[in-house]
């Protein structure tokens, strides 16, 4: 972790969590990337990841977002990293969410 103080030019760091990291969190991650551009650095993860749902890939393709290379990630990959926002998109993930430093 860097000791550098955040500045107004640093992107907002956003982590999106759900249980499986297969649908909702994946969609939100890529919509935030598309619409936030260089202003946001975003990742998604799950408390029990089990692969990206093929229907999610199909639906996102319909709006011009390619998720074919996306993978489900466990939230443990992101513990210890500073986040400006941690957003849970399901109640189960909120209940299992560890504390993330801001």
**Residue 44: CATH number of its domain:** 3.40.50.2300
Is the pTM value of this prediction over 0.85? Answer: no
Q: Does residue 89 fall inside a structural domain?
A: yes
Q: Does residue 102 fall inside a structural domain?
A: no
Residue 7 — pLDDT band, cuts 50, 70, 90?
Answer: low
* Backbone angles phi and psi of 34, in degrees to 5: -65, -45
Q: Does residue 101 fall inside a structural domain?
A: no
Given a cut of 90, whether residue 28 has pLDDT beyond it is yes
pLDDT of 92:
65
- pLDDT tens digits, 30-85: 999 999 999 999 999 999 999 999 999 999 999 999 999 999 999 999 988 999 99
* Backbone angles phi and psi of 20, in degrees to 5: -95, -10
Active site residues: 18, 90, 97
What is the tally of structural domains in the chain?
1
Domain holding 74, by residue range, is 12-96
Give CA 50 to chain center in angstroms: 15
Q: Does residue 3 fall inside a structural domain?
A: no
Q: Does residue 7 fall inside a structural domain?
A: no
pLDDT of 90:
81
Please check whether residue 17 is in contact with residue 92, taking contact to mean a CB–CB distance below 8 angstroms. no
Q: What is the mean pLDDT of residues 81-97?
A: 78
């Amino acid at each position: 972790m860097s000791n550098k103080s955040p500045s107004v030019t640093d992107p907002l760091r956003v982590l999106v969590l759900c249980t499986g990291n297969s649908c909702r969190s994946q969609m939100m991650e890529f919509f935030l990337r598309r619409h936030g551009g260089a202003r946001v650095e975003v990742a998604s993860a799950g408390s029990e990841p089990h692969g990206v749902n093929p229907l999610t890939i199909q639906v996102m393709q319909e709006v011009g977002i390619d998720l074919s290379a996306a993978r489900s990630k466990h939230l443990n990959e992101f513990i210890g990293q500073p986040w400006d926002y941690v957003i849970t998109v399901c109640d189960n993930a909120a209940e299992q969410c560890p504390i993330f430093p801001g």
